[in-house]
Amino acid sequence: EPEVTQTPSHQVTQMGQEVILRCVPISNHLYFYWYRQILGQKVEFLVSFYNNEISEKSEIFDDQFSVERPDGSNFTLKIRSTKLEDSAMYFCASSGPGTATRGFGPGTRLTVT
Amino acid sequence: SQQGEEDPQALSIQEGENATMNCSYKTSINNLQWYRQNSGRGLVHLILIRSNEREKHSGRLRVTLDTSKKSSSLLITASRAADTASYFCATSDSSNFGNEKLTFGTGTRLTIIP
């Protein structure tokens, strides 16, 4: 069964550094998402992406964040200047047209020190 | 309370017993989904119920939806040790399937005691 994959599984970075989290969505899916989960808290929506542009973003997704689909398979989340509070698990998800269910990736644990 | 709150926050039962988790939400929804998350791992989609449905089954899972009470329940029958995980409900208020955000609840941590 096709799955969403994410790399790396764990990223440690220093405050102020840029990080890029990578995702490979399920191949025939058209909609892509990033969510995050701070340890012990609920999963929060960050951004949705369709047809090479952002469809919707939350208030968390400020100017420090950006997303890109650089080629036909990858979907990336960039944090330009990381803060301590960006430490969280970041989940990529994708979905196809006509279905509300998501395939979620295993997550990237980002630790900002 | 916030959109998508589960109760109880934690539940421990003996293997073989049934587990029931509840989710309440505040705004109108198009569908409600349940996900499982094993510790430190990703989210696994379990089941989706649309706003015009009242009950749905999938294997040992039974989901109900009461839109008048803005609540849903997830029942896992004949629980197994492998069911130990956190369970989240997630709501969508859009009928634009495939292109809408999910709002997740706070989750129920289920522990099955062998």
Q: What pLDDT is attached to residue A72?
A: 77
Residue of B nearest to A39 (CA): B40
Q: pLDDT tens for residues B22-37?
A: 999 998 898 999 999 9
Decide if pLDDT at A5 tops 90: yes
B64 contacts: CB under 8 Å, gap ≥ 6:
B49, B54, B55, B72, B73, B75
- Nearest by CB: A104 against B4, B42, B107: B42
Q: pLDDT tens for residues B45-56?
A: 999 999 999 999
Q: What pLDDT is attached to residue B100?
A: 73
Q: Which residue has better confidence, A47 or A103? A: A47
- Nearest by CB: A50 against B45, B48, B99: B99
Q: What is A14-56 written as a DSSP string?
A: -TT--EEEEEE--TT--EEEEEEE-TTS-EEEEEEEETTEEEE
Q: pLDDT tens for residues A36-78?
A: 999 888 899 999 999 899 999 999 999 999 999 988 789 999 9
B104 touches chain A (CB under 8 A): yes
The alpha-carbon gap from B99 to the nearest alpha carbon of chain A, in Å, equals 6
